[in-house]
A and B are shown apart, each in its own frame.
Chain A
């Protein structure tokens, strides 16, 4: 099975994240880049599927040069090779552009299964997997907390408000995974060393027949008009419990008409 796992480098949520004042895009230099957490679950799931069914796992990442750190981590976990879509023309791409560019690459490299984390911790749109399924004309098996493949048929448990849906489709397909679908492995020392020798193919937009008019900030279908730091919340009232903390909290709730 030819599995492609999409990973994104995101700014570490433990550091202060910023938008750039010049073009209102994410400032990727202001914070340390880390692997988007949910993508680690996607990598783990891809590796487990490979271990069970054979084939190979290709990492696909779109991002600036420094995203190679993230790609190496996925390779160190055990993926076989990587494709890095990196081009200055992609800067400022929104979800529509990103899904278009990634679909072009996926069509070029081919796949039986595409696996993604269900959202990124930076933009948090949660739309990319659905957009990819739409663009690729492949079944959308998203928000999965369980994935089973049997030959060319695939079944997932899709989490819902009421529990889950069991969803079936035929490969090729697009899967997104939620947290806790598995326990992502830590790269071993051997894995880290091996990752340095694994092939990483870097593609510019022209290499994947990506139309420059459909990507980047100028092409974006939506835009940030302006932004500002959230005003600090007005300092609240903090009381120490002297045996009446619950009653005092109730007073507060009553004053706000919650009770």
Chain B
């Protein structure tokens, strides 16, 4: 079976869930080969990749790869594409993952598909466009298919692979070293999962009313082990940091469960969350468009409903 390269996303040596999803997806289409870009691979990480089906683990451990923006990862993948002729390359459809895919596409003269929410035979991808209004099938016509797949597109399922390790030395060009990372600034985000990766997202909007009141949203999120999001109205008002904005000009999330509290559901917001599997809405206004999307809606004051829901969730744990 042809190899399918999967670029590993990791945080401090821990493999991110989206990579396990990509390996699961790759298994249905070929032989998954994980690509570890940068230093810091651990025996635990290797075991994890193999557990989810990686037949091969390519390890390019040079710190040069992560000390420069995006280009080195594209050069590493291009080198592997040339050497191994994989059937496809899968990356996570994160902001950086898509940039890697874009540069790789140019380097390998290959087509690229971004934000796939599914991938089938012949590498035909499912995409959801125009704020979720239209479903599209698309495919690459030239070169090696490069597909950026959204987190939460597939449920990760273990299936042991050989996990044979192969070291890769990549000779970076000067161009790939042009943008140097001189400092990494970690901002406190607590124990919550990353927004675009989280299986459950709880978001607050205009109805939350103030920055202090976001503690109500955070309380429910923590009870559910969820990430916290916010609508643009809330981030524009300065109630919640901008990096948590879900919507057209912010993050796109595709979780198993999305809870929208005090969010009306304007297109700006829907574009960022409409592919969520299950949607629960809490809003005072029975006419709010968010209820058109909701699998379950509560017409009421979120300041009453959300704390009660949080309490019920905590009780049932």
For B128, list chain A residues within 8 Å (CB). 230
Contact partner of B107 among A37, A134, A163, CB < 8 A? A134
Residues in A whose Cβ lies below 8 Å from that of B242: 179-180
Contact B114 A253 (CB under 8 A): no
B99 and A126 contact, CB distance less than 8 A: yes
Q: CB of B106 within 8 A of chain A?
A: yes
Per-residue interface assignment for chain B, residues 235 to 269, with 1 indicating a CB less than 8 Å from any chain A CB and 0 otherwise = 00000001101001110100011000000000110
Query: Given that A13-B131, A140-B71, A180-B242 are contacting pairs, would A165 and B181 also be in contact in the complex, using a CB cutoff of 8 Å?
Result: yes
Interface stretch (choices A92-100, A184-192, A197-205): A92-100
Once bound together, how far apart are the Cα atoms of A239 and B282, in whole Å?
Answer: 10
CB of A165 within 8 A of CB of B102, answer no
Count of chain B residues near A, Cβ 8 A: 97
Nearest A residue (CB) for B300:
A241
Q: How far is the CA of A244 from the CA of B309 in the complex (A)?
A: 9
> Does B233 touch A at the CB level, under 8 Å?
no
At the interface, is chain A mostly helix, strand, loop or mixed?
mixed
CA distance A224 to B135 in the complex (A): 10
A196: Cβ under 8 A from any B Cβ? no
Interface residues of A in 57-73 (CB under 8 A from B): none
Residues of B within 8 A of A37 (CB): 248-249
Q: Is B44 an interface residue (CB 8 A)?
A: no
Q: A246, B134: Cβ atoms under 8 Å?
A: no
CB within 8 Å of A: which residues of B? 11, 69-71, 74, 94-96, 98-103, 105-107, 109-115, 124, 128-143, 175, 178-187, 189, 194, 200, 224, 242-243, 245, 248-250, 252, 256-257, 267-268, 271, 274, 278-280, 282, 286, 291-301, 304-313, 316-317
Residues on A lying within 8 angstroms of B by beta carbon are: 13-14, 16-19, 37-38, 94-96, 99, 118, 121-131, 133-135, 137-143, 155, 157-170, 173, 179-180, 220-230, 233-234, 236-241, 243-250, 252-254, 256, 258-259
21 sampled A-B residue pairs with Cβ under 8 A: A96-B112, A121-B248, A127-B101, A133-B71, A138-B178, A158-B181, A165-B184, A165-B185, A167-B69, A180-B242, A221-B142, A221-B143, A223-B138, A228-B134, A228-B135, A230-B134, A239-B299, A240-B299, A247-B308, A247-B309, A250-B309
Q: Which 6 A-B pairs have the closest CB atoms?
A: A241-B300, A246-B308, A127-B102, A221-B111, A250-B312, A163-B187
